[in-house]
Amino acid sequence: MARSVERPGLVPATPETIRRAAELLNHGELVVVPTETVYGVAARADAPEAMAKLYAAKGRDESKRIALFADGIESVRASGARVDAVAERLAAAFWPGPLTLVLPAAAGEWVGFRVPDHATALAWLRELGGTVPAVTSANRSGEPAARTAQEAWDALAPHVALALDAGPVAQGAPSTVVRVSAGKIEILRPGPIGREALERAAQRPARDGGK
């Protein structure tokens, strides 16, 4: 019989609860964490059952990939993603921050990575001990993003073991998403980092996704 796991609920973000959120994710549970953009809901990326929970909680099409959180560009390289000079420049300019880099990985796949600019999220990543989390906005698909832990909890509570409350987030808009390969930049989702800033940092022109 599987061991039951305590589900603490909506709690203030403290060193103890941040550590507990890491333990719960490592046990296959979903947790809510703050970022500088919106509150996110996370699952262990290498655990199929946990990822299935995440898609079910969101009501999200499983064909839509979910970005991974990393603690820096070296973690992205260690995952097997291909990081070219343009991706390095963008990471240096905007990480930690509201930029998701979609990079080529093994077997022709594309994987998104982000380093959040939020003390609680970064502390939680350090507590994970190398586990890679998949993180997406803590709301039902198609609904407004959560700017507070309470909004995230109200949207996803039946599915989530713990939500870390670190107060309202600063921006309330999802990250800018860009795909980078062979020195080319494609904006897949506009966000807080605009085209001019991307092009200036990358030293390359950017195009819109699908064009």
**Looking at residues 61-78, what average pLDDT do you find?**
91
Q: What is the pTM of this model?
A: 0.90
For residues 80 and 103, what is the distance between their CA atoms, to the nearest angstrom?
A: 10
Q: How far is CA 153 from the centre of its chain?
A: 17
For residues 33 and 124, what is the distance between their CA atoms, to the nearest angstrom?
A: 8
Per-residue model confidence (pLDDT) at position 194: 95
Q: How far is CA 173 from the centre of its chain?
A: 13
pLDDT of 1 higher than 50: no
**Looking at residues 200-210, what average pLDDT do you find?**
90
What CA–CA distances, in Å, run from 13 to 8, 22, 36, 65, 156?
A: 12, 12, 15, 28, 18
State the pLDDT confidence band at 93, using cuts at 50, 70 and 90: very high
What CA–CA distances, in Å, run from 25 to 4, 127, 130, 131, 172?
A: 14, 11, 12, 9, 24
Token digits of residue 73:
């560009």
pLDDT of 167 higher than 70: yes
For residues 145 and 56, what is the distance between their CA atoms, to the nearest angstrom?
A: 17
What's the CATH fold of domain 9-205? DHBP synthase (3.90.870)
The tens digit of pLDDT for each residue in 115-155 reads 999 999 999 999 998 899 999 999 999 999 999 999 999 99
Per-residue model confidence (pLDDT) at position 2: 42
Per-residue model confidence (pLDDT) at position 171: 74
Q: What is the mean pLDDT of the chain?
A: 92
